[in-house]
Amino acid sequence: MSTVQIKILGPGCANCTNLERATRVAIEALGVDADVEKVTDYSTIAAYGVMSTPALVVDEVVLLSGRVPTASHLREILAPLVAAG
Amino acid sequence: MSISERLTARTPTGVWVRAGAAAMLWVVLYAANGPFWDWLLLDRIGLDGEGRLGSGVRFFFYDSVKIALLLVGIIFLVTVLRSFMSVERTRALLGGRREGLGNVMAAGLGVVTPFCSCSAVPAFIGFVAAGVPVGVTLSFLIASPLVNEVAIALLFGLFGLGPTLLYVGAGLVIAVVAGVVLGRLRVERWVEPFVFETRLRGEVVDPAAALTWADRMRMGVDEVGVILRKIWPYLLVGIALGAVIHGWAPEDFFARHAGAGNPLAVLVAVLVGIPLYSNAAGILPLVEALHDKGLPMGTLLAFMMAVVALSLPELILLRRVLKPQLIAAFVGVTAAGIVAVGYLFNAVLGV
């Protein structure tokens, strides 16, 4: 079982912190084995093609950008990782 | 479950029923606001509505409720409407545009695109790296805070349709002209080089895609909460200052010093406004009180635009991608546009 790489892109605004917290809660609830990393460097954020923060990147794929999802939406997005992992 | 989740965990019809009920409640509260405070403060407590204390206190309570209601209504509506747009779509629309038409489109899109100044830097890099000219990108970045939904809500509620349209039109013209002028200055040399070296990779996710009406309404409710939490201190200070000016400032003090007779008034208003960090919610109660005291609309709109368009925190963020020369040109050209609009309005409108 490999560890999932989750990145939270955002310069450190309130929404970025909210997204990080929500993501940690969701992976805990789902039992996903994941590393959560915060990315605050602007050129790295922009290189993902992200123009509105915060954004959620799972295994180098941008899944969400520009808003903090509801807890249920976030679980929906992250649920496939349990099966894949 | 949060309140907003509970609201949307219903059938699609339920969402519309709730929205309709909320709209009706809003109309009732808005209509009852003036009569309620007249009844409570004047009839029950016995304050004198014409006196200083009475008119100041009534102004404070009536305006607080009125402004809060306007903000809730307009922020909700604007957020729901804007959820159909995104920065990603805007960039796609601007890609490959020349200057000129590109600036006009960028300014218009700056108004309708949901955008937080905390995203100014990634958006700037994203636009420029995708080939949108720097001047066009700057038109977008100027219009977005300058023509602001909170300001539109409050101007409309306090002054009516005319001044609101003037404000929106003037903001768009300033953003277009400033972007064109900055483009002509060949400002590319003042953009940090790493911006041009950024290679975009990966699929772009469009945040506006695949949203249901329930999602959009939840976003509207959430945004109302976020903005009100952020601006209420500014709002209360602004209304309190407005109430003091309303009740206590000598009748002709402002009109004599900053009125139509003072040719430097607009310039001073803009210079004072630029370093002031507030938002439209804090400024407009002040603007309303000063307008009652005889200050001309052009001066006041210029003051408000200077406060909301050029904010120090955003400039500090933009310093990451723009060299100081471009920051200075950005502030100078935008401020010049605001001053020009102020004088124009004063000449056309009078007090």
pLDDT in tens, B258-287: 776 778 889 888 888 887 767 777 888 888
Is the per-residue pLDDT at B148 higher than 50? yes
Q: What is the pLDDT of residue B9?
A: 52
> pLDDT category, B181, cuts 50, 70, 90?
very high
Residue numbers of A annotated as active site: 13, 16
Q: Per-residue pLDDT for A34 more than 80?
A: yes
pLDDT in tens, B282-328: 888 888 888 888 888 899 999 999 988 888 888 888 898 999 999 99
Per residue in B324-336, pLDDT (tens digit) is 999 999 999 999 9
Across residues A34-51, what is the average pLDDT? Answer: 85
Distance of CA B186 to the CA centre of its chain: 29
Contact between B122 and A42 using a beta-carbon 8 Å cutoff: yes
Higher pLDDT, B250 or B219: B219
- Output the DSSP codes for B88-107: HHHHHHHTTPPTTHHHHHHH
Those of residues 125-184 in B touching chain A at CB distance below 8 A are 125-127, 129
B193 CB near a chain A CB, below 8 Å?
A: no
Residue B3: predicted pLDDT: 56
- CB distance A62–B205 less than 8 Å? yes
The predicted model scores a pTM of: 0.83
Rounded mean pLDDT, B233-254 = 77
Substitution target in A19, A21, A44, A51 with the highest count of B β-carbons within 10 Å is A51
- CA B160, B27, B152, B102 torsion: positive or negative? negative
B86 in reach of chain A (CB within 8 A):
yes
Q: pLDDT digits over B52-109, tens only? A: 788 878 888 888 888 889 889 988 998 898 888 888 888 888 887 888 899 999 999 9
* Alpha helices (runs of H) in chain A, residue ranges in sequence order: 14-30, 42-47, 71-84
Query: Is A65 close to B207, i.e. CB distance below 8 A?
Result: yes
User: Please, which pLDDT band fits residue B341 given cuts at 50, 70 and 90?
Assistant: very high
* CA A57 and chain centroid, separation: 5
